[in-house]
Structure 1
């Protein structure tokens, strides 16, 4: 027999708060009294009010992760942390932030819209100087400069 899947305001608040504080959905759903991950994903797909709560929690989580990454960088600058360790942790936060921006949860997502396999046409909107600046920023962000 599966767990009950009644969506209550207290469960929504608990999920939202725990997500916003950086806890994984997997961990939250393993806790007693919480719905399964499948139930949460079903709520995301079928209940707009839950989707909004979920998205707002993820947005708050982004701000918190940004603060943590800034603190890590400052701790290196202040000589309190090892640069390699801090860089590795910051890279993880950047990777996780990219994963949280799942296309299907963005407003206006259209699964039937064609996906551009070749990014080159999208670059046509930039001048050669802007493309050079973008490439320099990409190299800097990747730590190649």
Structure 2
């Protein structure tokens, strides 16, 4: 090789990326099936947590795919909630309630549009009597209003 000029340029900083669409599809499939990121990164052939977060920033298509997978996983959790409720036994009622509440909370955060709790009803005409008790009338479908009748912001 004597006499040949080798071009030596700057070396890339950091580790080379292992991002492929195939790997992105696999990660998103696992998420859609209810796996958590923590479970996925523990698998021997998966990238670490920070790499997956970086890919979401650097690859808009992966970010959108990841969001859709999380939304789909909410439906998987919904089915699990129903299964837990149907197979619950009275002697395990409290632990079943904790499990169902936790699954509902996770599902609501994964797909806010599908399973999130509804907005609280509007409050109209709160009044205090002589004992200090407050009477509140809830009105379905009405926006809260200020004392002067304008909609509350």
TM-score range (shorter-chain normalised) is 0.5 to 0.7
The aligned runs of 1:111-126 (5 Å cut-off) are: 123=122
Q: Tell me how far apart the structure 2 counterparts of residues 81 and 64 of structure 1 sit (CA, whole Å).
A: 26
Q: Distance in 2 between matches of 1:71 and 1:101?
A: 19
Structure 1 residue ranges (4+ consecutive) displaced by more than 6 angstroms after TM superposition: none
TM-score (norm 1): 0.61
Q: Does 1:40 align with 2:52?
A: yes
Unaligned runs of 5+ in 2: 1-13, 114-120, 124-136, 142-153
> TM-score if structure 2 supplies the norm length?
0.59
Structure 1 unaligned residues grouped into runs of 5+: 107-121, 132-145
Matched, 1:13 2:18: no
Of the three residues 86, 91, 106, the one matched with 2:96 is: 86
The RMSD of aligned alpha carbons is 3.4
Q: Greater CA radius of gyration, 1 or 2?
A: 2
Q: Which of the pair has the greater relative contact order for Cα pairs under 8 Å at 6+ separation? A: 1
CA distance in 2, matches of 1:3, 1:33: 16
Matching of residue 59 in structure 1 with residue 76 in structure 2: no
Higher helix proportion (structure 1 or 2): 1
Structure 2 CA distance for partners of 1:81 and 1:55, relative to 1, 3 Å: farther
Q: Distance in 2 between matches of 1:42 and 1:83?
A: 42
Count of matched residue positions in the alignment of Structure 1 and Structure 2:
112
